[in-house]
Amino acid sequence: MSRFPVILSAPSGGGKTTIARSLLARRQDLGYSVSCTTRTPRPGEVHARDYYFMTRAEFIAEREKGAFAESAEVHGNLYGTLRSEVERVMASGRHVVMDIDVQGAVQFQRAFPQAVTIFILPPSAEVLLDRLRARKTESAAQLAARLQSALQELQQVDEYEYVIVNDELDRAVGSVASIVDAETVSRERVKNLRQQVGLLIERLEQEIENTTP
């Protein structure tokens, strides 16, 4: 069965991480690619579970070796997805679920063109603003930067194959799960059809060779 990465993007506070975690808790055919970051761990975050926490020098060294499928600087910190992490999960027979931003998604698709891209929208601007303000861990300048990033990300929504409104968590998770199922069936069908066409072509070529004077 063909496995593929599933990219979830959303403006900060859009709920992509919560959706990803819910999917992973419900489905055995999904795995998570742990990202790398240079930011300081937040309370409760664990190295190699939530992120691979790296120094800036370590991150840059890995990037220069071509280790990342995508990397970006967001709010002064570096983030990236290791190619080896993605390949590890798919080699285990699972789809890879990732929550990455818009600029990372563009890079990632170059490395893994088979990726399915899904943009998560908040139900309204007010809900998004409330989620951003509720963190209360950022300065006014940091909040302003996050708002600007959210605006830029929303302007790229047309670049995604699917768009889901996260107005209710279970519904949003169910929508993403349905997309994964549909893509799996579609890709298997196409794969089987291509194999069937290949066999037909091979048989016809043999017959033509046998009947050519």
Q: What is the pLDDT along the chain (213 residues), one digit of tens a residue?
A: 689 999 999 987 788 989 999 999 999 999 998 899 999 999 999 999 989 999 999 999 999 999 999 998 887 899 999 999 999 999 999 999 998 888 889 999 999 999 999 999 988 888 888 877 776 666 788 778 878 888 888 889 999 999 999 999 999 999 999 999 999 988 887 777 777 777 778 878 888 888 876
| Widest distance between CA atoms in the chain | 83
Strand locations in 75-207, DSSP E?
Answer: 77-82, 95-99, 116-121, 162-165
pLDDT at 103: 84
pLDDT at 166: 93
* Helix%, strand%, coil% for the chain, nearest 5: 50, 20, 30
Asked if 4 and 183 touch (Cβ cutoff 8 Å), the reply is yes
Domains of the chain (ranges, CATH numbers):
5-211 (3.40.50.300)
Q: Hey, is 125 helix, strand or coil?
A: helix
pLDDT at 13: 75
pLDDT at 137: 65
